[in-house]
Structure 1
């Protein structure tokens, strides 16, 4: 199945959002839009996204510094995750560790080590339109009230009609939002994933949206975006199936329908642990 070939391709782990936004000029435009600043030199941007190393397997979506003044950490999500402050804490700790590496011995000295001021953002790209902006706090996870350590994550919804002022101030973000929302509309019309991605690419190129990027990276975008939404739909489908676990016939019929439509793979059903061998045999008939 097409979904299975995507799942085994490691390069599709990067999302279109991360690839498209991870240039100096795009990140500078995003920073200016968020902070209301007017920096003009993309060479002031240093991208320091964590991609894992021999010593650490920590990876994040996007992080960068403006000179040594500001460090922005950005995550792109298609599902709601209240644990983002915890994840961001892990990311920023690793980024600071690497930032201080050349002078790590000074941390024990009497002179204060200066650090770039961190800021944390999530751009939500899923189906939930119940919020436009929300704030997540690390302190919400504490089992006892405390104001001794805090980390605040601002979450912006990229759904059509939401955060339009922010999008208007950042053309790359606005273009990605148009791309994503057009794709979602086609999927709601039951267009298969690959066809929806291809049609979205054609629409955007014709309307000068992400034009150069899409022309040069069309096949990669089809892989990345398709995998991204394959994974999301598969995860949601498995959750819904688990709710019907006690209804054996309904469970088998529902799973067979999702398998036939290509929303989930047989391997995913096996790995979920929700089905016996007999049920899997019935599903795959």
Structure 2
């Protein structure tokens, strides 16, 4: 990928913005409690029973964790992802380690004593609304990242991220139980519809905001915080574009390296079976679609 293009993309990203939209929508305790009830089939009605534990000052891989809280001795970690990340379980392990460290300090728990301590049970939910097709529910396990190991019967640690697809049309039962989640999914769907028609991201977001306000979807948030919502969406869009560009660049570099290795192996094979240097050059030009000068460079480099 062209470096100027990469710099152009990164130049649009404001990494100091306050919150992601998903977090903005569920930052009120009542809305977060509604989401928890919808996921777990519970009926808690007192938002004060919910203790927010989000790590405001902890940054891992450049991103704060979205939401964490404790209710009924369950430590919940909620993350929103607009692209599939197979390493979320590892992120969860790091977050939970810090959450438990903080929990132990706040509650003055002695982990070195002879008395068995009690800890809240961890629950890790990843809300996915990327453009790639994913199932309604998917488990991502930390142990899937470990090197194959026959000498160890059971790994010492495990962390399971439960990924829920919250694209509009997925997890219908969950959406019906949590209005804010359904409205968020609809808002993102409208933005994508405009993008698919060829509109610019700014136009798509503004049109989606107008439509949703008219339909009283996320109306309170969109009316009061329109500029902030626009800024957040544009930032998230730029970050996703940047990440995608890096992946594409990595694939391009991988293809180039693979082609080099293929030519090296081909030249070595020609030498082994006694094909002349001139004939090998001609075969390189034909097989790898090279110019004569390029083929000569590889011959100089790999011909022994």
**Which of 12, 31, 37 is the matching residue for 2:36?**
31
Which range moves more in the overlay, 97-106 or 135-144? 97-106
Q: 1: CA distance between counterparts of 2:22 and 2:44? A: 22
1:186 to 1:49, Cα distance in 2 relative to 1, 3 A:
same
Q: 2: CA distance between counterparts of 1:190 and 1:234? A: 19
Following superposition, the deviation at residue 150 of structure 1 comes to 2.1
Aligned to 1:60: 65
Q: Structure 2: 5+ residue runs without aligned partners?
A: 1-6, 257-304
Equivalent residue runs for 1:116-127 within 5 Å: 116-127=120-131
Structure 1 segments of 4 or more deviating over 6 A?
1-5
Task: Output the TM-score relative to the length of structure 2.
Answer: 0.73
Q: 2: CA distance between counterparts of 1:79 and 1:217? A: 25
Aligned to 2:211: 203
Following superposition, the deviation at residue 19 of structure 1 comes to 1.1
**Which of 11, 18, 30 is the matching residue for 2:17?**
11
Following superposition, the deviation at residue 239 of structure 1 comes to 3.2
Aligned to 2:47: 42
Q: 2: CA distance between counterparts of 1:83 and 1:216? A: 36
Does the CA-based 8 Å contact 2:137-2:163 persist in structure 1? Answer: yes
1:89 to 1:162, Cα distance in 2 relative to 1, 3 A:
same
**Which of 97, 107, 124 is the matching residue for 2:101?**
97
> Deviation digits for residues 234-284 of structure 1, max 9, x if unmatched?
33244335545689xxxxxxxxxxxxxxxxxxxxxxxxxxxxxxxxxxxxx
1:124 to 1:212, Cα distance in 2 relative to 1, 3 A:
same
Q: Say if 2:187 is the partner of 1:182.
A: no
Length, aligned pairs only: 243
CA RMSD of aligned residues (A): 2.5
Following superposition, the deviation at residue 39 of structure 1 comes to 0.4
Aligned to 2:243: 235
Task: Output the TM-score relative to the length of structure 1.
Answer: 0.78
Does the CA-based 8 Å contact 2:29-2:50 persist in structure 1? Answer: yes
Does the CA-based 8 Å contact 1:50-1:59 persist in structure 2? Answer: yes
Structure with max Cα Rg: 2
1:6 to 1:25, Cα distance in 2 relative to 1, 3 A:
farther
Q: Structure 1: 5+ residue runs without aligned partners?
A: 248-285
1:36 to 1:103, Cα distance in 2 relative to 1, 3 A:
closer
Aligned to 2:113: 109
